Structure 1
Amino acid sequence: MSVRPAWEVREDGHRTSWFDVRLCFGDGAGVDVLAVVSPEGVSVEDVRACPPLSLDDLTVLAEWIEGPLFEACGGGSAESGGSPQTPARRARPAWPRGTEGRRLVAEEYRAAQEDGKDPVLAVMCATGHSRRRSLRLIAGARDAGFLTPRHARR
């Protein structure tokens, strides 16, 4: 499951935030949700699923996304009683610099390759950096010898 901020509107001191929520299941099924967090609570604005969800699945959809959505809003998990409060700015996760950071980038890159996923996207998600910055981190890991060279030298 992944939760990404889509956009935010501020009006009269209140914030309303939209989030893209993606659920991927082991059997290849997936659900994309556009959820809205406002002072009145959480609501679902759009749902796209492949294969389509049954009515029973739609009724438990809110339970599936509730915890991760509250965590993305900065209010903790729903079980801990945290209320959804969107942060003023998106905080980047702490990522070590230097050799340790390059080693962790290489581990993320290789793990994504082994899982058949996009390794650059995995590094982007792990570091919180843009694609361009993530590619620079990957190049640094290659230069440090943590990843194999991109091209064979002649």
Structure 2
Amino acid sequence: MSVWPAWEVREGDRATRWLHVRLAFADGARVEALAVVTEDGVRVEEARARPGLSLEDLAVFADWIEEPLARACGVGPGGGDAAGSGAHRARADGPAGPEGGRLVAREYRAAQAEGADPVLAVMGATGCSRRGALRLIGRARDAGLLTPRHARRRAAGTAR
């Protein structure tokens, strides 16, 4: 992945940065994008992919490139935040504690029963990104509040 600056606009102590992003894969696939980094997060202004991205891939693209863009903007140990204001905003990990796990499990199962996307339901209930919602769902599974993702299957006639 390559990241390089396009331009920056400053207003007082706030900054908005546009960056070029290029991803090249071993199989020859490529994604080029123009991303905007502000204190509110990352937005993708333009993306070109060869072969084209599915809607699902495009939906998670900004989350996928967020960390490398933050590093390019100096976020991390000794750096400022992505917008240059000097105060990095912490991300919420979603609802905490046992009640949070129960909320995630309840929303997940309700969406499944309605035939809706359970991950989107958890995203809506918690305000988390898709990646954050998947993390919360994993925690709920680990806590035994949801069934395991992949049930282990045994071949017929074999015992352990």
When normalised by structure 2's length, the TM-score is 0.47
Larger radius of gyration: 2
When normalised by structure 1's length, the TM-score is 0.49
